[in-house]
Every structure is written in structure tokens, then in C-alpha cells.
Amino acid sequence: MQDKSRAPARLRADGDSLVLVQPIRALDQTRGAALVLRYPMAQALAPYRPLMAAVIIVGLIGATLVAAASWALSRGLAKPITALDEAARRLQRGEEVSVEVTTHDEIGRLAESFNLMADEIREREADMVHQALHDAETGLPNRRALERAIQDRLIGLAVGEQVVIGTIGLDRFPQVRAAIGYELATQLVAKLGQRIVDTVPGLIVGRLTTSILCVVSTTTDTEDVLARAEALLPSLEAPLQIGGEPVDVHITFGLASATKADIDASRLIEHALIGLDQARATHGKMMVFDPVAYGDPASNLSLMSEMLEAVRNGDLFLNHQPKLDLRSGQITGVEALVRWNHPTRGFLRPDLFVGMAEETGHIRALTDYVLTQAIEDQARLRAAGHEVLMSVNVSGRLIDDQGFAEHAIAQVMAAGANICFEITETAVIGNPDIALAVLARLAEANIRVSIDDYGSGLSSLAYLKQIRADELKIDKMFVTALESGGTDALLVKSTVDLAHSLGMKVTAEGVETREVIAALQLMGCDLAQGYHVAKPLAVDKLVEFLDAWAIDLPVKTESRLSA
């Protein structure tokens, strides 16, 4: 049997006490015995309380240090990341931004990369802005940049100041470009722009179109600007060295001004461009935009719509002005003149809508209508027993239109009409090869060609020689001055002789008196047209006029041809 006195003691907690139980050998072998010791818990733990307090304090201090270190570490990481995030947001809004680099760790390298990216974005944006505001070929400010500059100046105008816009057009630029090439022609534009900048410091100079520059300035005296611009013309037109060779420069000015910001920049530029067109139309070197001559664009557009409607409805009509043969005394031809009695605007002069039809591209429709009516009126004259040559005015814009030519030829040949096309001498200047080919085709179809208003423009003997024309019409400004003699008489006489030497007949326009008739006869002129012969007549009145003329031909001849 095991000796119970050697059994291990057991320690346990019992409420507020510690109990130690140690088995002992009993006197009575039949019963066990144990020694039980009870000790209060508080007294047992009393020696350990200072140690426990120290452990708790140390634990709290450790936890505090860990928390502080964690906070410091998170702050050290979060602050630069937050700064990067804010910088990225500002960069997204288009602001210029950079991040301060304070470390050389991963965060520092990230900040350096961000700054490099921001610099590249700024450079690209600056390049994009420059491209958006400058002409790629010349480096000059483009229209958008000019409009911004003009608008800024309009807004900032002081009392008495004006913004003046000048458009400078290189004359005959397509011909210059064809002669020297595209690249050198572009250099010509760029060098002209630089010449203007060097000549007049402080001007804003930009490129509006391929061949038109624009200058912007502010002034208190528009007349002074005009005088200075006129004085600068000779120096601006001095030849420029392009590709090592001198190239002649010929320019035309268009000007417009505004005294307050009641007009936007785009409209002001358009006014200056119109001024340039007006200068070229009058063969001048400079013109200030004339709003009266320009008219109302909305009204003009409406007028063209109404004209097309009138063409479709047959509301236009023709009057015919007779041409008198100065040798036979007979009426051998008439000129068809379009007329329009507008339902609300009243009678409209042809120059009010014909020129506009040319500019807006509607001249083909108008000319087709006039030709159709002229052929019909000629048929009525033939039915009444009168065979006369019917002349129709044809725009120079249609002479190099082969489609129009073929359509007109087919129409004339189908009707067996006796038609003459009156064109201006400058009609062949735009596309001479095509125009001369069209004129040759008209001659083959027995459609005669008359050169109208000879002497009113830039007469060219070279083109006159090439044009296969049957008739030359001397402009009325020379004819009406014949009575006074002088150089006009010499010019008319030399023109008659020149035309005859080229195989053409000569018609004098604007004949108002018998004295002019007599002078023309002495010069050998063939035909006369004007109010002294007859005013333009509707076809019914023309039939009556021709009937009366044929019946009383000797009297008519005497009254018209005798001085």
C-alpha cells in the first residue's frame, strides 16, 4: 500500500483564502488524515502588489509609445501622399503646381516623378495654345488670336479712342504662288508680316487667310492712321528677297474701325475684309469699309432667294435696246436687258441684283433664264418679220464654265437662234486656257462673241488678240465725251482702227446725240446703241418700233444719222 504521508500537497483557492492540503500518516490505519492550512488571499498577495503596479505602468507606457510611433509613422506617410493627391487635383483643374521633395525614399521619388509629369503637361499645353493661336506656316498670330486681341482692345477703349483694323491683301497671289512655288510664296507672306512689324512697332500683325494679313492698332485719330498707311505703301511694296531673288510686292488695304465694344471682333474683321474687296473693286489701293455701299446682308440674301423664286415663276422680263448700223441705217441687232419689277421693292436696277447673283453663285440660274427668254423673244421677232442679232450679257464667271457653255450651245442650236454673247475683256483673265477654249467652242457653234465695255477696265491687247470675238463695244464714258473732242476722240478712233484690224465690228454705247453719231461715222464706227437710237423696249413695243422703222427707213435714217 502506498504511503499517504508522501502524497503531494495540493494548493487551491477557496473564496478569499488559499488552502494547502497535505496528506499525513494517520494513527489509525483504517482512516486517512490530512493537514489543512488556510491563509488569507490578501495577505498572500500583499508582497506582489508593487510588482503588479509596475508591470501595469510599464505596459501602459509601452502601449502609449507604440501608439505614438504608429501615429508618427502614419502621419509621415499620409502627409506627402495627401499633398500629392491635392496637387493632382489642382493639376486636373489646369493650375500650375509642383510638389516639394523633402525625402529621397519612395515617396520622394514619387514626388519627383509627379513634378516631371506636371512640367511636361505644361509644356504640351503651352505648345497646344501656341499652335491654336498661330499660323503653322508663317508663325504669325492667326484669326483666333487676332479676334482675342481685338476684343481685349475694344473692352479696354478709353474715351476718344478707336480700334482700327487693317487687312492687307497680296494682289495676284495665286499667280505669284504659281510662279515661285508654294513654299516661297509662304515665305513671302511671312516676310511681309515681319516687314510690317519692323516698320510700325507696336502693331499686332497676323495672318487671316492665305494671302491676307491683318493689323490691329488703337488710335484717337483715324485720319492720321489713313495718312500713315498711305505713306507706308511704297516701303511695304518694295521687293522682298525670297530664295535669293527679289520678288515684287503689290498690296491693297482694307480698313475698318470701332469706337466701342458694340461690335464683336469677328464682325470688325469682316468689315475690314469687305473694305479690301471694295478697294479692289474700284482698282484702288486703300478703302475704308463703306456700309452704305455694302448694304444689308440679310436683305441681300433675301433678295437672292426672291430672285430665284422670280426666275422659277417667270416674273423677270426682258427689254431690248436696238443697235443701229451706221452705214445702212437699219436696225441689225438688239441687246437683251433683264428687268425686275419686284412686288414690294418696286423696280430694281439690274446692277442691284445681277452683281449680287454673281457674288452668291446664282448667276448661272439667272443667265439660263435670260437666254431662254431671249431665244423666245427672237422667235416672236422672226414671226413678225424681223431678223436681228440678239445679244445676251454673260458673266465672266460663266465663260470658264464648260457646263454652261455646252448647255447654252445646245439650247441655241435647238432653236436655230441668232445669238451673240456679250462678255467683258477680263472674263478670260481668271482661267485663260479654259475661257479661250470655251470661246472657241462658241465660235464653232456660230454663237457670236462681243467684248463689252471695252476701255472701262484694264484693257489687255494680249487677251484682245487671243479672244475670238466678232464685235467690240466701246464703253459709253468715252462715247459721251466725243462732242468735246480731245483725247477721248483719239482713243475711240484708235480703238475702231484696232478692232477693224483684228476683224471685229465696233459698237459705240451710250450714244445720246446726232453730233456723236456724226463723229462716230467719220471714225468708221459700225454700230451705235443708245437713247438717240431708242431706249430699251419690251418685245411688243420692239416689234412696233421695228415695223415703223422698216416702213419709214429713209426718214429714220435721215433723222438718226444726219447732224
Which amino acid type is present at position 513? Answer: T
Q: Rounded to the nearest 10 degrees, how much is the dihedral formed by the CA atoms of 253, 257, 263, 266?
A: 20
Answer yes or no: are the C-beta atoms of 454 and 474 closer than 8 Å: yes
Model pTM greater than 0.75? no
- Cell readout for 122 is 505644361
Q: CB count, 10 Å around CB of 498?
A: 16
Q: For 98, list phi and psi in degrees, rounded to 5.
A: -145, 155
Q: Give the integer Cα–Cα distance in Å for 212 and 235.
A: 18
363-383 helix and 297-313 helix, angle to the nearest 10 degrees: 40
Q: For 287, list phi and psi in degrees, rounded to 5.
A: -150, 135
| 9 CB burial (10 A radius; 0-12, 13-18, 19+) | exposed
- Cell readout for 374 is 431671249
Q: Give the integer Cα–Cα distance in Å for 271 and 166.
A: 10
| 3-class SS of residue 459 | coil
Answer yes or no: are the C-beta atoms of 140 and 205 closer than 8 Å: yes
DSSP string of 269-291? HHHHHHHHHHHHHTT-SEEE--H
Answer yes or no: are the C-beta atoms of 459 and 499 closer than 8 Å: no
Which of 196-205, 298-307, 337-346, 483-492 is predicted least confidently? 483-492
Answer yes or no: are the C-beta atoms of 115 and 101 closer than 8 Å: yes
Which of 234-248, 394-408, 462-476 is predicted least confidently? 462-476
Which amino acid type is present at position 321? Answer: Q
Give me the pLDDT at residue 42, please: 73
466 versus 267: the higher-pLDDT residue is 267
Kindly report, residue by residue over 338-396, the tens digit of the pLDDT: 999 888 888 888 888 888 888 788 899 999 999 999 999 999 999 999 999 999 999 88
Kindly report, residue by residue over 170-181, the tens digit of the pLDDT: 998 888 888 889
Which of 51-55, 153-157, 372-376 is predicted least confidently? 51-55
Answer yes or no: are the C-beta atoms of 286 and 230 closer than 8 Å: yes
553-561 helix and 539-551 helix, angle to the nearest 10 degrees: 100
Q: Give the integer Cα–Cα distance in Å for 157 and 154.
A: 5
Kindly report, residue by residue over 22-43, the tens digit of the pLDDT: 777 766 666 667 776 777 777 7
Mean pLDDT of 70-91: 65
Interior/surface letters 60-98, b for 16+ CB within 10 angstroms, e for the rest: eeeeeeeeeeeeeeeeeeeebeebbeebeeebeeeeebe
Q: Give the integer Cα–Cα distance in Å for 419 and 540.
A: 19
Going by C-alpha positions, the residue among 198, 187, 175, 183 that lies closest to residue 250 is 175
Give me the pLDDT at residue 460, please: 60
- Cell readout for 457 is 477696265
Kindly report, residue by residue over 260-303, the tens digit of the pLDDT: 766 788 889 999 999 999 898 888 899 998 887 777 777 777 88
Is residue 505 predicted with pLDDT exceeding 60?
A: yes
Kindly report, residue by residue over 406-426, the tens digit of the pLDDT: 999 999 999 999 999 998 766
Give me the pLDDT at residue 560, please: 58
Give me the pLDDT at residue 90, please: 72
Which of 189-198, 278-287, 550-559 is predicted least confidently? 550-559
3-state SS track over 131-144: HHHECCCCCCECHH
Q: How do strand 17-24 and strand 33-40 relate by DSSP bridges? A: antiparallel
475 versus 4: the higher-pLDDT residue is 475
Is residue 252 predicted with pLDDT exceeding 90?
A: yes
User: Looking up cell 454705247, which residue turns up?
Assistant: 509
Domain 143-294 falls in which CATH fold? Alpha-Beta Plaits (3.30.70)
Alpha carbon distance, N-terminus to C-terminus of the chain: 182
Mean pLDDT of 90-103: 68
Q: Give the integer Cα–Cα distance in Å for 538 and 560.
A: 21
The vertex-346 CA angle with 342 and 347, nearest 5°, equals 85
Give me the pLDDT at residue 346, please: 84
Q: CB count, 10 Å around CB of 502?
A: 14
Kindly report, residue by residue over 312-333, the tens digit of the pLDDT: 888 899 999 999 999 999 999 9
Q: Give the integer Cα–Cα distance in Å for 108 and 115.
A: 11
Confidence of residue 554 (pLDDT cuts 50, 70, 90): low
Going by C-alpha positions, the residue among 521, 517, 525 that lies closest to residue 480 is 517
User: Looking up cell 445646245, which residue turns up?
Assistant: 410
User: Looking up cell 502609449, which residue turns up?
Assistant: 64
CATH number of 312-395+406-427+449-549: 3.40.140.10, 3.20.20.450, 3.30.1300.10, 3.30.70.270? 3.20.20.450
